[in-house]
Structures are given as structure tokens and as C-alpha cells.
Chain A
Amino acid sequence: MARPVLAVRHLSVDFRTLRGRVHALRDVSLEVPPNKIVGVLGESGCGKSTLINAVTGLLANNAEITRGEVIFEQADLAKLSERELLKVRGEKISMVFQDPMTAQNPVISVGRQMTDTLYRHRKLSAGEKRKLATGMFRKVGISDPEERMDQFPHEFSGGMRQRISIAMALMMNPDLFIADEPTTALDVTMEAQFIHLLRELQADIGCAVLFISHNLGLIAELCDEVVVMYAGEVVEKGPLAEIFFNPCHHYTRRLIECDPSRVLDRSAVLPTIPGRLPNLTRLPAGCIFRSRCGHAIAECATKSPPLLAVSETHSVACFNHASLIERPAGGRAPRLKSNASENPVLEVDGVHVRYPTGGLIRRLLRPDAPRHMDAVIDVGLKVAEGQTFGLAGESGSGKSSLGRAIMGLTPAKDGSIRFKGDEIRGLPPREFKRYRRAMAMMFQDPVASLSPRQKVRRLVMEPFEIHGADGRDLNREAENLFQMVGLSREFFDRYAHELSGGQARRVGVARALALRPALIIADEPTAGLDVSVQGEILNLLRELQRELGLTYIVISHNLPVLRHVSDRVGIMYLGRIVEQGPTDRIFSRPAHPYTRALLDGIPRPDPSMRRKLESIEGEIPSITNRPPGCEFHPRCPIASDLCRAVPPAATELNQDHVVHCHNPLQGA
């Protein structure tokens, strides 16, 4: 094996914080061989970001490298002066960060930012620098690079901005390229495009890549080797196939099992990893994963396991891994039954949601500018009692607006929304309040959707305060609710920020359940949660549905999650439901090219299922600037002239499978 481009050896990093010393990295070792893509896999808090900051010398002031070295080109980066590091950064090592929207300076033109990175090359004239930059722009797929060079970052979309980030990072032909969760903020179709681009460029430039992600699918899709991190330690590392097909650490194995896209059986209970990350200021003795492991032996409690070689290239930090190797990964999960009936709880028909744009003066100045934008157009759906309707779509597709319109939080312009037969659209707030008892909504961010300065008990009991307790014993009620969502009494006096994402989500569920509603609208119930926790929440929701006969509308961009929980699925694009039907049918035989593209965009946590091509081109147009005809036609691979001119009507294929497409895909 060639000498690695980067070798991290026994690296330990501490942070001095107001709460004490946080041991963020402990004895981390890894190598990045030339021309290879090494993936670092781990959930939040595992120390991935600290690792790359330590490698690039961008650690915060309160961080301290207590041990170890970072060898890059025979030099220890950890010991270099800032001046020497500057030379390495940018020229030899470059990075792309998670959030493309904040990664560029908002007040300096992108071209200027590009050429600034070439400041060390005094020989180059400004014109030559610019030429290099435009060349790079073209390479990352930005059209009209000459013109767009002078634009400012905010004039680019998220996907484009991430491309610019890559362009800037690769300007100097670095030896090592580090990507820190580069696609987390992107939509599925954008993510697919980005991964494709990254692979191409890597092959082209031939640099080594350190790819950091929590997403198993992406790692499987892209990497050659994988390092699995947990709570600041490397728990397992090895070639991609070894890790995915023969995971030796219990954490790795469970992580892979948890991924909903792996569990194809819709009715199965998702596997989870119970427990929480340990507190890194006061490390437990022994193995860091012991409390959540379930396979711990006596040794695990006293000694911290070192990385042991399983094979030549594969090593694992576990005393009890031998037992693992014998068992095949992924057992049979228990099953849940759904008890859906045919009575519709909610009927939505022809609903529009429209937001006004601009003020009075803007209207006077530009009378022809659009005065509003349509977030939801002509949407109809029906949810039967006990059923789950999944609403899928990328950001800006109008799925949250639809949810809020149903809840009466956003006025719906026309159409009708009937709850158990009663028209609830356009009811004044006073009258709508009656229905709020029977309908509840869960919001995207589990922590941020809880009022930050109220104790959890009060939050959960608030619905009773608003709607009246009807003589119920509130203490009993509180305990009941907490029990139902699986939280113990000790959480009563906590504040939202003292909860983990999963716990906060459970509180959200308890709040929604308090008044025993018939319908719950869950907006991205798994967003912001680690894979291991997602399963817990989804299982809980399913369980409650079975016990209480709840009806759900689940809104999510995460198709594997929807496949798991939904009986029916609707796919939204630019405010319209372009296709809806039974979940199995949609997922197995999508009729709309967009649905197909979304499904293709799901990265599979299976190295053997790597995609070859990116599915669709382009980006979602702005809803204020809708294309004529079928609004999907600019991105559609099979668009015809008809599509470009005439909006498609609804076509019922069979079994309630409805699609808005002139040319539904074959086989549907």
C-alpha cells in the first residue's frame, strides 16, 4: 500500500469549556491513502468535525491537542506554525463544509473569492487568475461562468453554492480534499447530482478525499474505505465492503440495521439503538459504547478496547467482536399490523394556498410584478380513519404549507377541507378552536418546536389549559401521557434544551396526544434525528396508531421513512400533488418521472447497489416563476412538446393511483 497522504496517529483533542474539559477526541488514528475516498461515518457528537478541524488547524481557541500527530507530507500539522499551516491549507488541503448557504462571504463576489484563494501566486495576472476561476466554474457545472463570476453568493441556489464551494476548494489542485457533510443541507435530487460531480472530479484530479457523513447510503455510494466513529473514538475501520457486509463492532452493525432504507418490509418494527451518548467531560470507565451495547462482557467495564485487527485491512475496537462475526447482520424484525378502515377522517379538495408578496409601494412601482405566490395548488387528498398518508417532496414543494392549511394555521384560498364531514376551511379562529381538540400537529424540529422556557410537564399539559381539563386529574393525565410516549417522570421538570432530539420528539408526541385527537399531522417527524433514534420515533408513532386508532398525515422528504409508515403516499412538486397512490405501488411502480427520480436519488446503504447515473438534471424552479405546461418538463427526461405547452390533467391508473403526467411511465 502506498504511503498515505494523511495519517492521523493517536490524536486526542480536549476542549476547555465553561462546563469543564470535554475530551472530544481520544486516541484517533486513521490513514487516507492517495487517490482513495475515505469515509468517516458517525452520528452527531462523534467528533467528526473536531477531527477535520484538527487536521486543518482550524480548531477553536479553546481546543487543545493533548496527544498524537497529524502527518501530512511528512510534516506534523499539529506542530506547524500558523504561517506554515497557511501554505498547506488551500494549496495542499482544501475543504467543503456542510451548509452551502453560509460557506461564502455574502458581500464579496464569488469570482473575487475564487481569485483571492490564488493570492500566493503572484506571478499570475488578474486575468489569468480569472481564467482559472472560470475554468473551474465550468468544470463544476455552472453555466455562463463568465457572467456568474461577478455575482454574489446569494444569487445562487443552494446546490449551485455547494458547487462553488467545490470549485473554490479544488482551485489549487489539492492533494487532500475534505468534505464535511457536504450534502446534508441539499435535497435528494441535488444530493445525487453533487455526489456524481464529486466522483467525477476526484477521478479527474486524482486527489485523496476524506468524506465525512452520518449518511450510510452516501458512504456506501462514494467511499473506498470507511472509518466509523463513536463518541470521539474510532470504533471500527476497514474497506467499504468489509464494513457494510461484515460489520464487527456492535455499533456499526446496529447503525446499518437501523437505516430505514435497508428495511424494505413496510410493516416491520425498525431496529434502534437505545441509550444516549456518554458525557464527554466525565468519561465512563471501560468501553465507551458499553452502556448501549448489549453484548458487553466483564472486560468492557474496566478497560477501553484498543483497535484490534480482524483482518489485514479491517480493525475493530471491541473485546467481544468474535461472537459477532459468526452471526449474520440483520435479524428478522417483529411485525406490526395496521388497522385502517374506510371512513375518511379528512377530505381535502382543490385547496390553494397563496402568500402575498411585496408591500404597497412595491406594487405601485412594479404593477406587473406578481402580487402573490402559490405555495399549494389544487390539492386533493383523502385520509381514512386509522390510515397514514405520506406527503413527500423536496424543499419548497408546498408540503408543509398544505399541512398548515389543514390545521388552519395558514388560510387556504379555495377548495374545501372537511374534517369528519365538517367543512373547516375558512372558519374563524373561535370556531376552529373546537376542531383543534381533534387535530394535532407535530412540527419539524423536535427541540425548537417546544417553547424553550417552559418545563416539559407544563408543555405537555398546556392543551388542557387551553381547551379545559373536563375534570380530568391532570397529574394522572401527565403520567399517562409520559408513559405512553416512553418518558419517565424525571423529565417533568426539564426544559426543552435539556432533552435530546429523540426525547424532545417524544414530548412533542405527548403534547399532540394530550387531547386524544383523531388526526395527527406530523411534519418531518424524523428530521434532525440520528438514524438510531429515527427508528424509535417511527416505531412509537406506529404503535400509538395501532393502540389509539389514530390517523396520520406524515410529511417528509425522506422517502424510506415514508415508505415505512404510510398506507398512501402523495408526491408534491411545486405545490401540486403530481402523483398519489398506495405506498407499495408508488414505490415499486412509480408513474411520474419525478417520483422515479426521487426514488432513484435515495442513496442505498449497500455498496453493491451503487448508482451509475444521476437521475435528473436541473433544480426546482422558483414558485414565483413557474414553467408553462407541465411544471416538471424542464427537468423531465421524457418531456414532449405537449408537456411544454399543456398542463397535464389527473390520470387515474388503477387502485387509486393518480398521476399528473402526459406520459406515465411504463409498468405503472
Chain B
Amino acid sequence: MTDRFEPAGESAFSEDRKPAATLRMVLRTPQGVIGVTIVAVFLLSALFAPAIAPYDPFQINIPDRLQAPSLNHLLGTDQLGRDTFSRILYGGRIAVQLAGIAVGLSLAIGLVLGMIAGYGPRWFDNLMLLLFDTIRSFPTIVMAMAVVSLTGPSLEMVMAIFVINAVPGFGRIARTQTLALRNTEFILAEHSLGASTALILRRHIMPNVVGPLLILAAMDVPVVITVEAGLSFLGLGVLPPTPSWGSLLNEGFRILRDTPWPVIAGGLPLIITTLGFTFLGESLRDVFDPKLRKEP
């Protein structure tokens, strides 16, 4: 460790891992400040969208359609004359939902499967690896189309497709971490005390595995939104008139030659939010563990 100085008796993990302290550490770098700010604005604007939005995002107003940005409509209007700025604000709510539920679910499933794979019997580990590899080898597009064909496109389906594809990533990291922990002294120490597997997994392995996964989760948030945009492009996205960022981008793309505003307006929040989450994710990674790498 030539990178940082460690005062005696404290490890690289020093201070504590309490959320408040972690936040303090993150806020000590410009990158962290930007990340936290953007993510905070993202969450707040989603939460208070009804209060901030100047228009009803669903209000169709044909005469005002396809307007360029103006004081009336900060980011212009779409094909149905709806206010793009309001739709983006509400889209943020969708994004929060998508991110929260889809990423959260992937994390939870990946965590459980990964931990059992890493700690449990060899055959289960092999089975999980096989499952993860199979999912990865399966063309995502075909999977998405199959799922959507079955049920029609919806937010839930976008989430389901994301979860199916993201679980292997989380699972692999959880597994690797668990494998690494499995032979550490403190786990051995728990064994020597006669602790049950469930107790060891729940209390001693999970808290150590979940940290790296949270970092991956932060970095996956923008990925969900881009996935949603891509699926919308292929007509496999969310239900209209839901103002998701992906569908905004996709709708904008269709009328790009007439007006570039919807694409710009739909793309900017996506890029900014991605930057925010990535910065936050990387800061978290720097705080928790510089060694962790994101698996693609």
C-alpha cells in the first residue's frame, strides 16, 4: 500500500463503515461530491415531481405539439403536445422505480444465489456457474423478445429482463467474495465455535459480501435505464403513455429529423444521472475497496 498512509493500528477500512461515515468519506473527493449531488437531485426531483412539474405529463395538447424549448415549455413539447420537461421529471420517478426494484431484486437474488454457491456444496456452485454462463450466452434480444411476446411490454417486463441478465453479474461477485471469505480465519473461528451455516451466512458473510455488490448496484442503475431505452427502441419497452426516459428517447428518435429536442432532452438526464451514479459508485469503491472491479 503505497497509495495511502495508514496510521498504526488502523486498517485501510479504518474509521467505520457506518453509512454516515461512509458518506463523509465519499464527500471528501470532488468526484464524490458531484456524484452525491447528482444522485440527490435525481432522487429529490423524482420524489417531488408532482410539485415541480409545470404541466401534467399526460395532458395531450395537439395544437402545441413539437415545440422547441421556450419559457412556457422549458424543454419543448412532444408529438402529442405534452411538456417534455414534466415528462422527464415524471420519467425520473420511473427510473427510480426501475433502478430501485430491478437493481434491488438483482442484488438480492444474486446475493443469495452467489452466497450459497460460494459456501454451499460443490455441485450447487457448479450448477450456479452453469446457470450464470447459460444466461450470458443466451442472446439477450431473443430473451427480451420472448418475454415481451408472452406478456406484452411493460415496466415489469423491462425489470424482469434486466434482472435475468443482471443476476449472474451480482451472483458471480457474491460467489467470489464468499469463496474468498470461506477460508478466512474469522469464518474458521465461527466454525470452531460450532456456529451453524445459516448463522455464518447471515451474520458473518452477508455483511461482507453486500458492500461490493452495492457498488456494482450503483453502477448498474444507469444500465437499467439504457437497457430500457434500447428495449423501447425495439418496441419492447414500457407501456405508453408512461413517460420513461427510454421511451422519451425512443419517441424522440422517431421524429429526430423534425426536431432534435426530444432526443436531447431525453438523453441529457440519462447521461447526467449515469455520471452521478458512476461517480458515486466509484467513490464508494474507493472508500470500500480499491481492489473491486466491475464485472461486465
Residues of A within 8 A of B (CB): 15, 17-19, 22, 24, 44-45, 50, 53, 58, 60-63, 231, 276-277, 279-281, 404, 407, 409, 432-433, 436-437, 439-441, 443-445, 447-454, 462-463, 465-467, 495-501, 508, 511
User: Nearest-CB distance from B209 to chain A (Å)?
Assistant: 10
Which residues of A have CB within 8 Å of B10? 497-498
- Complex Cα distance A279/B10, Å? 10
**Using an 8 Å CB-CB cutoff, how does the interface string of B152-193 with A read, 1 for contact, 0 for none?**
000000000000000000000000000000001111111111
- Complex Cα distance A625/B16, Å? 46
Query: How many B residues face the partner with a CB closer than 8 A?
Result: 34
Which residues of A have CB within 8 Å of B13? 452, 497
Which residues of A have CB within 8 Å of B4? 15, 17, 60, 62
Which residues of A have CB within 8 Å of B191? 409
> Is B14 engaged at the interface, CB distance under 8 Å to the other chain?
yes
Which residues of B have CB within 8 Å of A409? 188, 191-192
Given A277-B9, A443-B188, A451:B194 Cβ within 8 A: no
The interface centre, meaning the residue of B15, B25, B188, B203 with most chain A CB atoms within 10 A of its CB, is B188
The interface centre, meaning the residue of B188, B193, B196, B203 with most chain A CB atoms within 10 A of its CB, is B193
Q: Is the CB of B5 within 8 A of A24?
A: yes
User: Nearest-CB distance from A566 to chain B (Å)?
Assistant: 21
B222-239: which have CB < 8 Å to A? none
Given A448-B185, A448-B186, A449-B186, A466:B193 Cβ within 8 A: yes
- Complex Cα distance A496/B11, Å? 10
Identify the closest chain A residue to B26 (Cβ): A18
User: Nearest-CB distance from B120 to chain A (Å)?
Assistant: 15
Residues of B within 8 A of A (CB): 2-5, 7-11, 13-17, 25, 28, 184-196, 199, 203-204, 207-208
Which residues of B have CB within 8 Å of A500? 8-9
User: Nearest-CB distance from A509 to chain B (Å)?
Assistant: 12
Instruction: List the 7 shortest-distance A-B pairs measured between CB atoms, nearest first.
Output: A45-B8, A15-B5, A453-B207, A436-B194, A449-B185, A500-B9, A443-B185
Given A44-B8, A451-B203, A58:B185 Cβ within 8 A: no
Which residues of A have CB within 8 Å of B203? 451, 454
Contact among B3, B8, B195, B207 for A462, CB-based, below 8 A: B195
Q: Is the CB of B5 within 8 A of A50?
A: yes
- Complex Cα distance A432/B195, Å? 12
- Complex Cα distance A214/B255, Å? 72
Which residues of B have CB within 8 Å of A19? 7, 14-15
- Complex Cα distance A36/B17, Å? 47
Contact among A443, A452, A467, A511 for B208, CB-based, below 8 A: A452
Identify the closest chain B residue to A523 (Cβ): B185
Which residues of B have CB within 8 Å of A501? 9
Given A44-B8, A277-B8, A53:B193 Cβ within 8 A: no
Given A409-B191, A440-B192, A448-B184, A454:B204 Cβ within 8 A: yes
Q: Is the CB of A497 within 8 A of B11?
A: yes
User: Nearest-CB distance from A56 to chain B (Å)?
Assistant: 11
Which residues of B have CB within 8 Å of A441? 189, 192
Q: Is the CB of A18 within 8 A of B190?
A: no
Contact among A63, A404, A432, A452 for B186, CB-based, below 8 A: A452
The interface centre, meaning the residue of B28, B203, B208 with most chain A CB atoms within 10 A of its CB, is B203
- Complex Cα distance A15/B196, Å? 44
Which residues of A have CB within 8 Å of B3? 60-62
User: Nearest-CB distance from A521 to chain B (Å)?
Assistant: 8
Which residues of B have CB within 8 Å of A45? 7-9
Which residues of B have CB within 8 Å of A451? 186-187, 189-190, 203-204
Q: Is the CB of B193 within 8 A of A495?
A: no
Q: Is the CB of B192 within 8 A of A407?
A: yes
Which residues of A have CB within 8 Å of B192? 407, 409, 436, 439-441, 443
The interface centre, meaning the residue of B4, B14, B208 with most chain A CB atoms within 10 A of its CB, is B4
- Complex Cα distance A433/B197, Å? 13
- Complex Cα distance A499/B67, Å? 63
Which residues of A have CB within 8 Å of B207? 452-454
Identify the closest chain B residue to A498 (Cβ): B16
Identify the closest chain A residue to B207 (Cβ): A453
Which residues of A have CB within 8 Å of B16? 495, 498
Q: Is the CB of A447 within 8 A of B14?
A: no
Q: Is the CB of B8 within 8 A of A22?
A: no
User: Nearest-CB distance from B259 to chain A (Å)?
Assistant: 47
